[in-house]
Amino acid sequence: MNHNPQSSDGKHDDDSALSDFLASLMDYTPTIPDELVEHYLSKSGFQSPDVRLIRLVAVATQKFVAEVASDALMHCKARQAAVVKDKRDKQQKDKRLILTMDDLSKSLREYGVNVKHQEYFADSPSTGIDPASREE
């Protein structure tokens, strides 16, 4: 009805934007290689002769990983800022930004991925227990 001509124009625009985007994807080489993406897509049963779709999936994955990494970076920087507040002399030492399991699990939790890292590993079940209770 009223929306039809507008929506059809809009659709044309969207279509053209999408097709332009797919064409531009062939120029932009994502960091994640096509071969890796193709390998896992074929493992999942995904079948397509179009290379642009592979590129699209690669770009989408790169975006996802970048988002997770940037969230982890935020957590890392926040932690360092908190430490610096307590002891000013540590400002010089903790400049290096390192991706740790702690930050990663915090950022992944928002994406629905629950990652729990082992705090420590013990030799036997009774490690760390009071000697008195260990004998029992």
Partner 1 sequence: MNNGCLEKRKKEGSKSSKFGSKSDDFAVAIAKVAAAQVCESVGFQGFHLSALETLSDITVRYIFSIGKSANFCANFAGRVEANLFDIIHGLEELGSGLGFAGASDVDRCVVNSGIVRDIIHFVGDADFIPFAYDVPRFPVVKELKEIGSFQEKGEDPPGEHIPSWLPTFPVPETYATRSSVENEMMSVPTGKKTESELASIERKMERSLLNLQLRFAKNGNEDGSLHGVGYSGRAREDFEGNPYLAAPLHSGEKEVEVSPVVFPAKLSNEASLRNPVPGNVIVGNHVSVLETFASAIDALKSGLCDSDNGTKKLLSTQRPTLRFKIGIGKKSFGTEPDFNSQKDDNEKDDKKRRVETIL
Binding site for partner 1 (CB under 8 A): 10-11, 14-15, 17-18, 21-22, 24-25, 28-29, 31-33, 35-37, 39-50, 53, 56-57, 59-66, 68-70, 72-73, 76, 96-101, 103-104, 108, 110-113, 115, 117-118, 121-122, 125-126
Give the separation between CA 44 and CA 55, rounded to whole angstroms: 17
CB of 54 to partner 1, least distance (A): 10
Using an 8 Å Cβ cutoff, are 116 and 105 in contact?
Answer: yes
Considering the complex, state which of residue 63 and residue 90 has its C-beta at the smaller distance from partner 1. Answer: 63
CB nearer to partner 1: pick between 87 and 102: 102
Q: Counting Cβ atoms within 10 Å, is residue 107 exposed (0-12), middle (13-18) or buried (19+)?
A: buried
Q: Tell me whether residue 29 or residue 87 sits nearer to partner 1 (CB atom).
A: 29
Tokens coding 61: 């994955």
Whole-number Å distance between alpha carbons of 106 and 7 = 42
